[in-house]
Amino acid sequence: MAAAAAAASTSRLLLLRHHHDAAADGSNRQKQQQQQLRYSSKPSSLALLGLRLSPPAGALLPDRVTPFSYEEDGESDDHPREECGLVGVVGDPDAASLCYLGLQKLQHRGEEGAGIVAVGGDGKLKSVTGLGLVADVFGDPARLASLPGPAAIGHVRYSTAGAAASLRNVQPFLAGYRFGQVAVAHNGNLVNYQALRNKLEARGSIFNTSSDTEVILHLIATSLSRPLLSRICDACERLAGAYSLLFLTADKMFAVRDPHGFRPLVLGRRRNGAVAFASETCALDLIEATYEREVEPGEVVVVDRRDMSVSSACLVPHRPRRSCVFEHIYFALPNSVVFSHAVHERRTAFGRALAEESPAPGADVVIPVPDSGFYAALGFARASGLEFQQGLIRWHYSGRSFIQPTQAIRDLAVKLKLAPVHGVIRGKSVVVVDDSLVRGTTSSKIVRLLRDAGAREVHMRIASPPVVGSCLYGIDTPSEGELISNRMDLEGVRREIGSDSLAFLSLGKLHSIYGAEAEGYCDACFSRNYPVLPTLPEPVVELEE
């Protein structure tokens, strides 16, 4: 996550911690930090002290970072965005091709850029990265063919709305240091990034990016521990926040998960003995790797490609598990197993609990907001004894509606993206089930769309609690001032989106679904109970040379 976002996260948590309002005088710095919440970039240029760099050819750093915002024209689907997806394969001669396929399956976790680093037969690491979808980046067969070898790691990154796209933003990062080459792919966000960077810069490190991944590489390069496993553990012991990491060297692959287990990372094995890692099991399924287990929170799994031995080390002493509950609510594909639970079963349970807690008496039909609301709506319909229908059809090829010249044309473009099935809607009292409600813009458009299609009543049901806090751990969410449930009470939100009724799954009911496991999930976006607070950077005194 970008330094600006980290600074903004620090500001938000300070406001929560001290419960004070900024006065007009002396509040400029806080306002600037809060404004920086709207910024995010993750450049991959690695101008590191002690590291030889291997940036993509022709890559240019953006000269500025533009504000983050969900497009106000209806382009956004009004959901938070996962930052990244990871895939790694070791022990297969087609490792890069398998990574390519796995990244295709994880495309929903990142659409801005994709990259693969592979180990060749000569033991040297080679990188191919590019902007766009996985199929676009590797559309030329020669690019994938240039990555032969028995081990590879891959990465997809989500576009930060409004941020300038650059090849330097695309991972995996490949660098060299005095003991050889190392590549890294990272999913997460470090909440002590700025404090670590300040200390490293004070000791002479030169930074060329605002990427928190660059800090990790600095810490590894400057560690006095031996061997590389000890360097990685030494570096990660100094990190705070969310990180799932894949490292690749000439002879080993390392899979690392932060001690709280915020972001998912799983391990599987192919029939030929090859070991695979991925952010979700759906990627393992595609490459015919059998899911074995999670990489445990605080664990480092090491695979030596020379003899395919697999070993495990404890990264840090045990800390309370805090896996991201939004992976089950929205981010992960329904055919994945995440945090040892089948995602589609979790979502069906959310919908069933929502129906028990907030039924819609007199309704005729239940429809989902496609695509992520499907299983929650199915659970709601089953528990309510109501008919389940696909009343909205999502068109996936509508392009970017903000380029249209007038608001009237943009409104028509929104209808192209979501189209009602009139025979399901007309004259009916409709229950619409969505997985979450963030800003409310999409929900209000859906309500109008259904009314225009002839719905007699529209009852909105949300299969998660109200989102009132921004994420600090690797998810793009709007600032708290943009979160509709943070600005309005339930009735205010209902009036704003225009539905006849509105209900959210309560936080207590969500916890009851998980039972004793509930304490092992991060729900800060619903509760503002942040398990890891940002570390305040020490003041930096700049001296003129």
Q: Does residue 523 lie in a domain region?
A: no
233 is in an annotated binding site: no
314 is in an annotated binding site: no
Q: Does residue 377 lie in a domain region?
A: yes
324 is in an annotated binding site: yes
Cβ–Cβ < 8 Å for 358, 461: yes
State the catalytic residue, choosing from 84, 233, 236, 282: 84
Q: What is the token pair recorded at 333?
A: 């594909």
Q: Does residue 381 lie in a domain region?
A: yes
Cα dihedral 68/73/78/84 (nearest 10): -50
471 is in an annotated binding site: yes
**SS3 of 440-496:** CHHHHHHHHHHHHCCCCEEEEEECCCCCCCCCCCCEECCCHHHCHHHHCCHHHHHHH
Cβ–Cβ < 8 Å for 430, 353: no
Residues 310 and 393 placed together within one structural domain of the fold: no
Residues 300 and 355 placed together within one structural domain of the fold: no
Q: What is the token pair recorded at 181?
A: 């080459």
Q: Does residue 196 lie in a domain region?
A: yes
Distance CA 140, CA 157 (A): 20
Residues 364 and 506 placed together within one structural domain of the fold: yes
Distance CA 273, CA 290 (A): 10
The CATH number for 87's domain is: 3.60.20.10
Which one, of 318, 271, 322, 319, lies nearest residue 474 by Cα? 322
Q: What is the DSSP string of 213-230?
A: HHHHHHHHHH---SSHHH
Q: Does residue 65 lie in a domain region?
A: no
Q: Does residue 74 lie in a domain region?
A: no
Q: Does residue 94 lie in a domain region?
A: yes
Q: Does residue 71 lie in a domain region?
A: no
Residues 88 and 140 placed together within one structural domain of the fold: yes
Residues 98 and 221 placed together within one structural domain of the fold: yes
H-assigned helices in 37-164: 95-105, 134-137, 141-145
Residues 256 and 302 placed together within one structural domain of the fold: yes
476 is in an annotated binding site: no
Locus of tokens 């997806």 = 85
Q: Does the annotation mark 314 as catalytic? A: no
Hey, which residues does 462 pair with through a beta bridge?
A: 434, 504
Grouping H, G, I as helix, E, B as strand and the rest as coil, residue 293 is: strand
Residues 311 and 380 placed together within one structural domain of the fold: no
The CATH number for 372's domain is: 3.40.50.2020
Residues 313 and 351 placed together within one structural domain of the fold: no
Domain ranges, residue 477? 342-397+404-514
525 is in an annotated binding site: yes
Residues 362 and 508 placed together within one structural domain of the fold: yes
Distance CA 384, CA 363 (A): 10
**Digits of tens for pLDDT over the chain (545 positions)?**
444 444 444 444 333 333 333 333 333 333 333 332 222 223 333 333 334 333 333 332 223 222 223 333 334 456 666 579 999 999 999 999 999 999 999 999 998 899 999 999 899 999 999 999 999 999 999 999 999 999 999 999 875 433 456 788 789 999 888 889 999 999 998 999 899 999 999 998 887 766 788 889 889 988 988 899 999 999 999 999 999 999 999 999 999 999 999 999 999 999 999 999 999 999 999 999 999 999 999 999 999 999 999 999 987 777 899 999 999 999 999 999 999 999 999 999 999 999 999 999 999 999 999 999 999 999 999 999 999 999 999 987 654 443 445 656 656 666 778 999 999 999 999 999 999 999 898 899 999 999 999 999 999 999 999 999 999 998 877 788 889 999 999 999 999 999 999 999 999 999 999 999 999 999 999 999 999 998 877 765 555 55
Locus of tokens 């589609």 = 344
Residues 287 and 351 placed together within one structural domain of the fold: no
Residues 199 and 114 placed together within one structural domain of the fold: yes
Which one, of 263, 185, 212, lies nearest residue 2 by Cα? 212
Residues 314 and 417 placed together within one structural domain of the fold: no
Please give the tally of structural domains in the chain.
Answer: 2
